[in-house]
Amino acid sequence: MQTIKGPGIFLAQFIGDEAPFNSLDSICAWAAGLGYKAVQIPTTDDRFIDLHKAAESKTYADEIKGTVQRHGLEISELSTHIQGQLVAVHPVYDDLFDGFAPEAYRKNPKERTKWAISQLHDAAKASENLGLNAHATFSGSLLWPLVYPWPQRPAGIVEEGFKELAARWLPILDSFDKAGVDLCYETHPSEDLHDGITFEMFLEKVGNHPRANLLYDPSHFILQGLKYLDFIDIYHERIKMFHVKDAEFNPTGKQGVYGGYQNWIDRAGRFRSLGDGQVDFKSIFSKLSQYDYKGWAVLEWECALKDAQVGAAEGAVFIKEHIIPVTSKVFDDFASSGTDASFNKSFLGLS
């Protein structure tokens, strides 16, 4: 077994225009001061990393890594959640998701998709140049408007949607394989890959590609009513990343999973700071340790109530306290009878 690495922090929710959140150097100093050991870096803000340049230049990648290491930190992974979302967008969402793309690709879905795909190829090479072994992303979605079947889904449309999704992602997966990096899909509502079944449907379409893996985030399973501990038992061989994020689901006589179009603070299901929600993190850390999870435990802070900086400070301590230093020996070794193979055969009557 191997002790889980951490605590790490995903920087996306903290980036802003004021110090210390407006540059890689200053945000790393802030994170290190809170006790974090690694940062997970989003790739849509050139103030923190120029993804294309990191893919093209090992020297530049080394400079990025050096900036992080000056503060006693590591890069846990890069993230292309935004670009991954744009790999596959149903037309009903085109205008809404245009804001995720550079202006040059807006109002042009085909070119926007090409740009997003090129970003993922860059992410594979940039991860390799940075010496990383895993990468975070979303799958995008062609089928989400059909998640609740009314009117009845047209025959064959789900099959067609997953066939196209796989066709777009398979060359990207091959790039990640060439780079020696696992591509980890965060199974998330609004994505075509949002639970175990949809991940399996995708996996079948990409030929069980060895680089098609999972970013495990239990908060999204709380909100779906999915058994998030069983998910680890089923998919632990594919879980290569871990977002430590809390959530709660408190249905009432007025609303449930769908939230009644309410803001986050008024929904039955909402994200919370670590320790304030319903996720059983003791069991999660135990299971991941049992299955020899080799990656980082990374805080993704999202909360409808608590201040972000308070949540970040508390999160470092919370993760540190939940990491289990795994044992190097069996606890009852002291009572070993010191038998050998010859004795075992004799005892079983096989000699």
pLDDT band at 335 (very low <50, low <70, confident <90, very high): low
> DSSP 3-state assignment of 110?
helix
By the 10 Å C-beta count (0-12 exposed, 13-18 middle, 19+ buried), 219 is classed as: buried
Condensed to tens digits (0 to 9), the pLDDT of residues 21-56 reads 999 999 999 999 999 999 999 999 999 999 999 999
Q: Which domain holds residue 51?
A: 5-347
CATH code for position 79:
3.20.20.150
Q: What is the mean pLDDT of residues 286-290?
A: 98
Cα separation, 177 vs 180, whole angstroms: 5
Q: How many domains does the chain have?
A: 1
- Residue-averaged pLDDT of the chain: 96
Statement: residue 292 has pLDDT above 70: yes
Cα separation, 254 vs 268, whole angstroms: 9
Helix count and strand count (H, E) for the chain: 13, 10
Distances (CA, A) of 202 to 172, 198, 212: 14, 6, 9
Q: What pairing do the DSSP bridges indicate for beta strands 246-249 and 269-272? A: antiparallel
Condensed to tens digits (0 to 9), the pLDDT of residues 184-215 reads 999 999 999 999 999 999 999 999 999 999 99
Q: Tell whether omega for the bond before 20 is within 30 degrees of 0, i.e. cis.
A: yes
